[in-house]
Amino acid sequence: MTGIRTTCAYCGVGCGIVATRQGERGVTIRGDADHPANAGRLCSKGTHLGETTGLEGRLLHPMIGDRRAGWDKALDLVARRFRETIAAHGPNSVALYVSGQLLTEDYYVANKLMKGFIGSGNIDTNSRLCMSSAVAGHLRAFGEDVVPASYDDLDEADLIVLVGSNTAWCHPVVYQRIQAARAARGTKLVVIDPRRTETAEEADLHLAIRPGSDVALMNGLLAHCRREGLTDDATLDVPDGFWTALDADGDLWTTARTCDVAPADLHRFFELFAATPRTVTLFSQGINQSIRGTDQVNAILNLHLATGRIGRPGAAPFSITGQPNAMGGREVGGLASTLAAHMDFAPDNVARVGRFWAAPQMATKPGLKAVDLFRAVEQGRIKALWIMATNPAVSMPDAGRVRAALADCPFVVVSDVMETTDTGLHADVRLPAAAWGEKDGTVTNSDRTISRQRAVLPLPGEVKPDWWIVAQVAARMGWADAFAYRHPADIWREHARLTAYQNDGARVLNLKAHAAIGNEAYDALAPFRWGGRPFADGRFSTPDGRARLVPVRQIALAEPLRGWPMTLNTGRYRDQWHTMTRTGLSPKLARHREEPLVEVHPDDAATLGLTDGGLARVATPQGDSLFRVTIATGQRPGELFVPIHWTDRQSTGGRAGLLPRPLADPHSGQPGFKNTPARIEPV
Ligand code: SF4
């Protein structure tokens, strides 16, 4: 048997996989040598996907409360409660909270229901927690949410700068590609990260900057390039005073002081960047998950735009995303802040999408972003909430408060593959959704490559695809004709038509070639990257075609709060994924880190009486949890690091989600998971 070509379930690298069914539920996995994202490579998580396809813990039947129910009864109940809530309290009293684990087709149908038929913008996604600051930064600079890079650029760069990314652990196949480029052409690697991670260990230069000083660093570098005569803003939209303000930020020594790095190291980085036109700057959660995330993104984009490091081979700013379909969700409008097909809520876009959908009631303004959405649940303004393929009771910041809000919400629906999740415990109705290996559709990875996820296994029990479940509810709410999809290809064609509908070059996203694709061709679809090399002609998606430099300033970095002398950082482990509902099923993956550890600098450990291997309580104003201590010289003094994965179901401690503040970036709404005031004490 040759196997079925599909795409990995986990991160935004989007590796191609050849999956071969073995017996009832078994699947063997190998990397797809023909997939452009990975050329056959896989990391540990992808390699062990076959250990996660059993039926252990699966939700196999619709449930109303603790009782099994038929699909008709469960769907009728969901439709009726949503209809009644809307009739009594208006369309903004209901919300959908979806996930980068959904396929593009699932996302499209959910977005259409909420924004075109219910008439509210209240659909947001856990991608808000991952990369919405990159989206907001792209929109401000380019006029469209386009990642102007591809993995091929990594092969052609002479310098790769990784900012706020432990790529070796979090995007391992991208890291393998970077290492291959270093071996093949001597590409230099600079890592900018407060922690000396596994990635930083192997870099040519590591700048362990003070957390939150990224804008100062990028502005300092841009000012250096300006002084060296390396900037050209003739074709850019440059606000008055942009350069003057940048110069006023000070010289290299001032920047070094703000960032708390050695001036000699900073100078080396500045010289290397200035001398290397083929530079790719990859950035991830260390940039995005900040209450200043969008400004940090724009500081990077400013640098690449003004120095011409964009739209050319080996030269680009590159937001690398967390989830398999974070980008597909962005393309169909799965964020509360966007409409559909890369359009915003400008009146002509609302009218255009409304015409296309023949929508009875279009949302006319953005809906609630994740943090605000759950606050609205807490305040009783959202009275019916449908959560799909995500676990906000663990993953949202200040998760204890989210859990209490869910418990008090009058009607909660959860679509999930697992029978018991921390979020599902609060559901009135649970709907069994198809898992990876069972569902069919498309995903878009971090470099705009669209790939098929294909079913390898039959749907177990009464499990259904997410798009089918949403379409059934829409039909029961009275919109059967608009949601009469029989195959994911029906949805794909409609999405492709919408991207091209009255889009005369206004947006880069345009899937016109797929608007009439047949079912067989869709089933056989090979991976392809949309958009070619964006902005190679110097034209952007703004009204006048010019990219914008966005003035961003470094804010004063706060001194430690009294009683909270440390700062807490969160992140991922190499072999675990999100809240471990899938990777937790693999014994081999569990061996890498068997329990959640708090990393502490040796000086702090000595001062606070913490011992390596001992237990400690990590506390913030939001909550506290137990962790096992590991003394780590890669930590900066005064800073702690904990992993995000563990939940109550797996461990009595390690509840990282209880700790961060529910504060968000003002532009993107992305929560600032990093730099939470904290303290630690031995127990
Ligand atoms: Fe899957 Fe990401 Fe690993 Fe590739 S790098 S195999 S997409 S988890």
Instruction: Give per-residue pLDDT as tens, 244-289.
Output: 999 888 799 999 999 999 999 999 999 999 999 999 999 998 898 8
- Which residues are registered as beta bridge partners of 568? 640, 676
Ligand 1 atom nearest residue 43's Cα: 3
Question: Does 649 score more than 80 pLDDT?
Answer: no
Q: What is the DSSP string of 87-115?
A: HHH-GGGEEEEE-TTS-HHHHHHHHHIII
Q: How far is the CA of 443 from the centre of ligand 1 (A)?
A: 13
Instruction: Give the per-residue pLDDT at 656.
Output: 79
Integer CA distances (angstroms), 332 to 123, 363, 615, in order: 12, 15, 46
Question: Residue 197 is which amino acid?
Answer: T
Average pLDDT (366-378) is 97
Rounded to the nearest angstrom, the distance between the alpha carbon of 33 and the centre of ligand 1 is 14
Secondary structure (DSSP) of 547-574:
-B-----PPPPPPPBTTB-EEEEEE--T
Element (H, E) at 615: strand 615-620
Strands 316-319 and 411-416: unpaired
Closest residue by Cα to residue 93 from 405, 459, 385: 385
Q: Which fold has domain 63-129+324-486?
A: Rossmann fold (3.40.50)
Interval 519-546 mean pLDDT: 96
Distance of alpha carbon 46 from alpha carbon 29, whole angstroms = 8
Rg (CA), the chain: 24
Which residue has the least CA distance to atom 4 on ligand 1? 15
Query: What's the pLDDT score for residue 594?
Result: 76
Atom of ligand 1 nearest to the CA of 10: 8
- State the distance from the centre of ligand 1 to the C-alpha of 295, rounded, in angstroms: 29
For residues 553 and 212, give the distance between their C-alpha atoms in angstroms, rounded to a whole number.
12
Ligand 1 site-directed mutation target among 18, 169, 171, most atoms within 8 Å of CB: 171
Q: Which residue has the higher pLDDT, 245 or 674?
A: 245
Query: What is d(CA 22, CA 27) in angstroms, rounded to the nearest whole number?
Result: 5
Contact between 531 and 277 (Cβ < 8 Å): no
Three-state secondary-structure class, residue 159: strand
Work out the pLDDT band at 651, boundaries 50, 70, 90.
Answer: low
Domain 4-52 has CATH 2.20.25.90: yes
Q: Which CATH number fits domain 566-682: 2.40.40.20, 2.60.40.1120, 2.60.120.560, 3.30.230.10?
A: 2.40.40.20
Judged by DSSP in three states, 63 sits in strand
Could you tell me if 501 and 356 are in contact, meaning their C-beta atoms sit under 8 angstroms apart? Answer: yes
User: What's the gap in Å between 155 CA and the centre of ligand 1?
Assistant: 18
Q: What is the mean pLDDT of residues 112-137?
A: 95
- What is the average pLDDT score of the chain? 94
C-alpha–C-alpha distance, residues 586 and 582, integer Å: 8
Q: What is the DSSP letter of 50?
A: G
Spatial CA neighbour of 675 closest among 626, 632, 648, 636: 636
How far is ligand 1, taken at its centre, from the CA of residue 626, in Å? 30
Q: Residue range 460-467: average pLDDT?
A: 98
Q: What lines the ligand 1 site, CB under 6 Å?
A: 8, 10-11, 13-15, 38, 42-43, 45-46, 171-173
Give me the pLDDT at residue 74, please: 98
pLDDT at 530: 96
Q: Return the best residue to mutate from 43, 199, 284 for the ligand 1 pocket (most ligand atoms within 8 A of CB).
A: 43
569 vs 545: CA distance, rounded Å: 39
Measure Cα distances from 597 to 572, 580, 591, 655 in Å. Answer: 11, 16, 14, 11
pLDDT digits (tens, 9 = 90+) for 436-449: 999 999 999 999 99
pLDDT score at 650:
61
By residue count, the chain amounts to: 683
Confidence of residue 648 (pLDDT cuts 50, 70, 90): low
ipTM for the predicted complex comes to 0.99
Q: What separation in Å is there between the alpha carbon of 14 and the centre of ligand 1?
A: 6
Ligand 1 centroid to Cα of residue 435, in Å, is 17
Which residue of 7, 8, 41 sits with most ligand 1 atoms within 8 Å of its CB, as the best mutation to test the pocket? Answer: 8
Q: Give the residue from 528, 325, 336 showing the smallest Cα distance to 441.
A: 325
Q: At residue 585, does pLDDT exceed 60?
A: yes
Point out the ligand 1 atom lying closest to the alpha carbon of residue 17.
Answer: 6
What percent of the chain is modeled with pLDDT above 70? 99
Given the structure tokens 């790529």, which residue do they identify?
A: 167
- pLDDT surpasses 60 at 1: no
| Nearest atom of ligand 1 to the alpha carbon of 37 | 4
What is the whole-number distance in angstroms between the Cα of residue 441 and the centre of ligand 1? 18
CB 93 within 8 A of CB 344: no
What is the fold, at CATH topology level, of the domain defined by 132-319? Dimethylsulfoxide Reductase; domain 2 (3.40.228)
In the chain, domain spans = 4-52, 63-129+324-486, 132-319, 566-682
Task: Kindly state the percentage of the chain with pLDDT values over 90.
Answer: 82
Q: What is the pLDDT of residues 290-319, one digit of tens each?
A: 899 999 999 999 999 999 999 999 999 999
Q: How many CB atoms lie within 10 A of CB 602?
A: 14
CB 616 within 8 A of CB 610: yes
* Strand 411-416 to 384-388 pairing: parallel
Contacts of 344 (CB under 8 A, 6+ apart): 139, 337, 338
Distance of CA 622 to the CA centre of its chain: 24
